[in-house]
Chains A and B, each alone.
Chain A
Amino acid sequence: MTVGLFVTCLVDLMRPTVGFATVKLLRRAGCKVSVPKAQTCCGQPAYNSGDNPDARAIAEKVIEAFEGFDYVVAPSGSCAGMIKHHYPSLFADDPEMAPRAVALAGRTFELVSFLADVLKVENLEAAYDGIATYHDSCSSLREMGVKEQPRALLAQVRGMTLTESPESETCCGFGGLFCVKYPDISGRMVDAKVDDIIATGADTLLAGDLGCLMNIAGRLHRRGSNIRVRHIAEVLAGMTERPPLGEPAAKEKPEKEAG
């Protein structure tokens, strides 16, 4: 089966490792993965700002670029949710685009649920040494129905203990542009999130959305915590050589010694 990888703007720009981990997971499960060059952003910043004309214009580009695949997969519940739920409503009154938006929506999945529900991945062959807690990002959980899938997959990771936070379903305060528009309210929310994560005693925080992870990692680091923050795909793919989000690349071989 062919899968078009919608890598999302944040992964593309900030953490390509998540993209490579996604490809590895999909290929291992037998998918033929393509990465259309003509991809940028799903349009959510415009859509959530009330700028529907721009959101529609971006959505048209995404639909064009991804129409030819059996499935479209994104390592983010938020961006997959945009395509799956909001593209159809953006084009509800457009007889030409509406069926195309609906068709694409039907084939679009968030990575973790795609692995678990569609590909039915078992025997991941990944190992991770640590105690992890998983944050249920809002769109993954409430728009894409992702709850049990990451737990089921993480249970296959050797050496990992998963510990739950009672507040794992509470928003971290990222909210896309929200954290820029209302940084102090967002700051209070991420502080509460960080309190809950620290209280679990975990040494690793995982989630399926990079936006939340950047927000939480940023606050953890500012508070001096050394909890490691990673996208769940990195762990599932066994690609944890790169330092965790926001950590220095000190572990890499120092270049000077080589020269």
Chain B
Amino acid sequence: MESTTAAFRENAAKALGDSKLRDALSKLTDGFPARRREAIARLPEFDALRDAARDIKDHVLANLDFYLEAFEARVIEAGGTVHWCRTAAEARTAILRICKTAGAKTVTKGKSMIGEEIAINEHLEEHGIEPVETDLGEYIIQLRNEPPSHIIAPAIHLSKEQVADTFREKHRHLSPGRSLDEPRALLDEARGELRRKFIGADVGLTGANMLIAETGSIVLVTNEGNADLTYALPRVHIVIASLEKIVPTLEDATTILRVLARSATGQEMSVYTTFCTGPKRQDDLDGPDEFHVVLLDNGRTKMLGGEFHEMLRCIRCGACLNHCPVYKAIGGHAYGWVYSGPMGAVLIPNLIGLEETGDLPNASTLCGKCEAVCPVRIPLPRMLRTWRQRQFEQKMNSPAARAGIRAWAFLARRWWLYRMLTGPVIAVLGRLGRARGRFRYLPLAGGWTKLRDFPAPEGGTFVAQWHKARRREGRT
């Protein structure tokens, strides 16, 4: 997917001006976070589980080569194939080759962020193969030709009215007079459309929530069951996954499942959890004839052992987005690439470089809510700050911003100079502001006073007043 991250400020301004988006995002406040809170309240050992999930991921990252090779060996034993891909381009080529060999015309797809990352849909279309998204949210945004705005709820930016309009426009063969007022009607209509596609598909392409080294299985978690129809009906199943999705054992996978859905949607478990191991076996009633795992690096191994190592623990639950006040203000599209929210702001510069993505680590108050809810305890604020450090070292921020910071720091190191300069400014502001107690406009603080008044200072500084009083006490 092309990045529009360089235009973050414009994207954000557009988002802030979009009242439909504002309504849609306000659902977030009482939706996912509230349900997460309730789910956790019912599970006293939740924090211990988070530690366990973190430790599993840390262990696997420290032994990544070992577990990936073990996984490959089990996949081969089960009759499948693993395709190791360093880059997005290699993954696209591998997937296209499998589709071509299978003579595919239609590919059904489960929701996959890696699919978005490598822009597989565009690539398949260019080569005459029709990709069909089967997750309801993904299906909607595919019809609208939009990228996802949330890693687990790709169409969260839309209202049901907007979805109804899209369906009317795209499903022309259906009666124009039909009622699409209820979410149920929308769901039924999408289901009807998708049913035909499921049956006609030649290849099913899914992501994977986890890869299990012990068994060579992949884990699929959905609420709609669409991934099951996607992988089980066509002749060929392709799994696309990035390599940090690996966990050692089935037991480990269940530990992570226990924190995943609770963190994401506040469910105890997602509605469908499926473990797929290899293609159809002799006695199986259904399942694919071929099972391919396309294993993608795309910059992950570069993060290993570095300052962003812990980001590879991410299980893509979306909790950090759901709880981020900046995400709630501007939505996911403003971030300009596949990922968004705090995890996106840390990950995107890792994957596509800091040059174009400089706003992302800065557009955060470092409020720490993301780290507080992350099921695998990723220190997201620390990492955002690390990116800022890199920017500062490489002189990537604006000269004016750098000069401002350095000037303040210069003063802050020289308390006498600081006192000499700040004292008179504060005295003047105090006098000017006394009558109203605040300013509606202040030169050099236009950003602040556009939306807020600026409280007037009292007029004298604390330290000066304190020491003056002490001197006086000393004399008397």
CA distance in complex: A189, B329 (Å): 7
CA distance in complex: A182, B330 (Å): 12
Interface size class of A (residues with CB under 8 A): 35 or more
Cβ of A46 and Cβ of B450 under 8 Å apart? no
Cβ of A190 and Cβ of B451 under 8 Å apart? yes
Question: What chain B residues lie within 8 Å of A242 (beta carbons)?
Answer: 458
Cβ of A219 and Cβ of B451 under 8 Å apart? yes
Among B387, B401, B454, find the residue whose CB has the most chain A CB atoms closer than 10 A: B454
Nearest CB on A from B422, distance (A) = 6
Cβ of A185 and Cβ of B329 under 8 Å apart? yes
Question: What chain B residues lie within 8 Å of A19 (beta carbons)?
Answer: 462, 466
Cβ of B463 and Cβ of A248 under 8 Å apart? no
Question: What chain A residues lie within 8 Å of B367 (beta carbons)?
Answer: 138, 142, 171, 175
Please provide the chain A residues from 51 to 96 with a CB less than 8 Å away from any CB of chain B in the complex. 51-52, 54-55, 57-58, 61
CA distance in complex: A12, B395 (Å): 32
Known: A51-B392, A189-B326, A218-B454. A45 touches B405 (CB 8 A): yes
Looking across the interface, which residue of chain A has its beta carbon closest to that of B426?
A13
CA distance in complex: A169, B456 (Å): 27
Nearest CB on A from B452, distance (A) = 3
CA distance in complex: A243, B422 (Å): 23
Question: What chain B residues lie within 8 Å of A215 (beta carbons)?
Answer: 452
- Does B314 reach chain A (CB closer than 8 Å)? no
Known: A49-B388, A61-B413, A219-B452. A188 touches B16 (CB 8 A): yes
Q: Which of B12, B328, B409, B465 contacts A51 (CB 8 A)?
A: B409
Question: What chain B residues lie within 8 Å of A187 (beta carbons)?
Answer: 450-452
User: Main SS of chain A's interface residues?
Assistant: helix
Looking across the interface, which residue of chain A has its beta carbon closest to that of B444?
A180
Binds B, one of A32-40, A103-111, A118-126, A152-160: A32-40
Nearest CB on A from B430, distance (A) = 9
Nearest CB on B from A216, distance (A) = 9
CA distance in complex: A222, B436 (Å): 13
- Does A128 reach chain B (CB closer than 8 Å)? no
Among A50, A139, A183, A192, find the residue whose CB has the most chain B CB atoms closer than 10 A: A50
- Does A143 reach chain B (CB closer than 8 Å)? yes
Cβ of A54 and Cβ of B409 under 8 Å apart? yes
Cβ of B435 and Cβ of A248 under 8 Å apart? yes
- Does A221 reach chain B (CB closer than 8 Å)? yes
Nearest CB on B from A5, distance (A) = 9
Looking across the interface, which residue of chain B has its beta carbon closest to that of A182?
B363
Known: A171-B365, A184-B13, A221-B438. A38 touches B451 (CB 8 A): no
Question: What chain B residues lie within 8 Å of A207 (beta carbons)?
Answer: none
CA distance in complex: A133, B440 (Å): 25
Please provide the chain B residues from 366 to 381 with a CB less than 8 Å away from any CB of chain A in the complex. 366-369, 371-372
Cβ of A183 and Cβ of B451 under 8 Å apart? yes
Looking across the interface, which residue of chain A has its beta carbon closest to that of B326?
A185
Cβ of A138 and Cβ of B418 under 8 Å apart? no
Known: A39-B463, A138-B368, A171-B367. A246 touches B455 (CB 8 A): yes
Among B367, B434, B450, B460, find the residue whose CB has the most chain A CB atoms closer than 10 A: B367
- Does B406 reach chain A (CB closer than 8 Å)? yes
User: Main SS of chain B's interface residues?
Assistant: helix
Q: Which of B390, B392, B435, B457 contacts A13 (CB 8 A)?
A: B457
Question: What chain B residues lie within 8 Å of A27 (beta carbons)?
Answer: none
CA distance in complex: A185, B458 (Å): 29
Known: A54-B409, A185-B329. A180 touches B448 (CB 8 A): yes
- Does B389 reach chain A (CB closer than 8 Å)? yes
Nearest CB on A from B476, distance (A) = 19
CA distance in complex: A40, B388 (Å): 23
- Does B391 reach chain A (CB closer than 8 Å)? yes
Question: What chain B residues lie within 8 Å of A179 (beta carbons)?
Answer: 447-448
CA distance in complex: A179, B311 (Å): 27
CA distance in complex: A46, B364 (Å): 15
- Does A41 reach chain B (CB closer than 8 Å)? yes
Question: What chain A residues lie within 8 Å of B463 (beta carbons)?
Answer: 7, 12, 35, 37, 39
CA distance in complex: A178, B294 (Å): 41
Looking across the interface, which residue of chain A has its beta carbon closest to that of B465?
A16
Question: What chain A residues lie within 8 Å of B450 (beta carbons)?
Answer: 183-184, 187
Cβ of A7 and Cβ of B462 under 8 Å apart? yes
CA distance in complex: A251, B437 (Å): 11
- Does A11 reach chain B (CB closer than 8 Å)? yes
Cβ of B389 and Cβ of A50 under 8 Å apart? yes
Nearest CB on A from B397, distance (A) = 8
Cβ of B426 and Cβ of A243 under 8 Å apart? no
Nearest CB on B from A188, distance (A) = 4
Cβ of B434 and Cβ of A50 under 8 Å apart? no
Nearest CB on A from B417, distance (A) = 9
Question: What chain B residues lie within 8 Å of A50 (beta carbons)?
Answer: 385, 387-393, 397
Contact with B along A1-29 (1 / 0, CB 8 A): 00000010101111111111001000000
Nearest CB on A from B336, distance (A) = 14
CA distance in complex: A38, B419 (Å): 10
- Does B162 reach chain A (CB closer than 8 Å)? no
CA distance in complex: A182, B462 (Å): 30
Question: What chain B residues lie within 8 Å of A7 (beta carbons)?
Answer: 462-463
- Does A150 reach chain B (CB closer than 8 Å)? no
Question: What chain B residues lie within 8 Å of A16 (beta carbons)?
Answer: 458, 460-462, 465
Please provide the chain B residues from 290 to 328 with a CB less than 8 Å away from any CB of chain A in the complex. 325-326, 328
Nearest CB on A from B232, distance (A) = 43
Looking across the interface, which residue of chain B has its beta carbon closest to that of A49?
B405
Question: What chain B residues lie within 8 Å of A253 (beta carbons)?
Answer: none
Question: What chain A residues lie within 8 Å of B457 (beta carbons)?
Answer: 13-15
Cβ of B448 and Cβ of A183 under 8 Å apart? yes
Question: What chain B residues lie within 8 Å of A185 (beta carbons)?
Answer: 12, 16, 326, 329-330, 363
- Does B453 reach chain A (CB closer than 8 Å)? yes
A–B pairs, 12, beta carbons within 8 Å: A37-B467, A48-B385, A50-B387, A55-B409, A138-B366, A143-B368, A183-B448, A183-B450, A192-B325, A214-B454, A221-B438, A248-B434
Interface residues of chain A, those whose CB is within 8 Å of chain B, are 7, 9, 11-20, 23, 35, 37-41, 43, 45-52, 54-55, 57-58, 61, 138-139, 142-143, 167, 169-171, 173-176, 178-192, 214-215, 217-219, 221-222, 242-243, 245-249
**Beyond A12-B463, A46-B405, A219-B452, 19 extra complex contacts between A and B, CB < 8 Å:** A13-B461, A35-B467, A40-B413, A46-B408, A46-B409, A48-B385, A50-B389, A51-B402, A54-B406, A175-B366, A180-B445, A184-B16, A188-B330, A190-B451, A214-B455, A218-B448, A218-B452, A247-B438, A248-B436
Closest 4 CB pairs of A and B: A175-B365, A218-B452, A50-B388, A183-B447
